[in-house]
Amino acid sequence: MKIILSGASGLVGTALKSTLNDAGYVVQCLVRGEDKQDNTIFWDPYSGKIDLDAIEGSDAVIHLSGANLATIWTEKNKKLFRSSRIDTTAYLCNCLTKLSQPPKALISASAIGYYGDRSDEVVTEESAPGSGFISELCRDWEAATNEATKIGIRVVNIRIGIVLSRTGGALAKMLTPFKLGSGGAFGNGQQYMSWITLTDLVNSIHHILIKEELSGPVNLVSPNPVTNKLFTKTLGRVLRRPTVMTIPAFVLRTTLGEMAEEMLLSGQRVHPQKLVESGYPFSHPQLKEAFNAVLGKK
Domains of the chain by residue range: 2-295
CA–CA separation, 85 and 171 (whole Å): 23
pLDDT at 39: 85
Angle at the Cα of 167 from the Cα atoms of 162 and 170, rounded to 5 degrees: 30
Determine the Cα–Cα distance for residues 232 and 268; give it in Å rounded to an integer: 16
Half-sphere exposure of 108 (CA within 13 A, CB side): 32
Distance CA 263, CA 168 (A): 17
Rounded CA-CA distance 86/203 in Å is 25
| pLDDT for the residue 34 | 64
What value, to the nearest 5°, has the Cα angle with vertex 162 and ends 157 and 167? Answer: 115
pLDDT of residue 110: 98
Closest CA to 134 of 85, 64, 62: 85
pLDDT means per 10 residues, the chain with 298 residues, are: 95 97 96 76 93 94 95 95 97 97 97 96 97 97 98 98 95 92 94 98 98 98 98 96 92 93 96 98 98 91
Q: CA 173, CA 171: separation in Å to the nearest integer?
A: 5
Cα(95)–Cα(43) distance, rounded to whole angstroms?
11
Nearest-10 Cα torsion for 81, 82, 83, 84: 50
Alpha helix positions (H), 40-105: 52-55, 75-82, 88-96
Nearest to 140 by CA among 104, 103, 95, 108: 108
pTM of the model: 0.96
Give the angle subtended at the CA of 21 by the CAs of 16 and 23, to the nearest 5°: 95
Question: How much is the pLDDT for 35?
Answer: 59
Cβ count within 10 A of residue 244: 12
The CB-side HSE value for 53 (13 A sphere, CA atoms) comes to 0
* Domain range 2-295, CATH architecture: 3-Layer(aba) Sandwich (3.40)
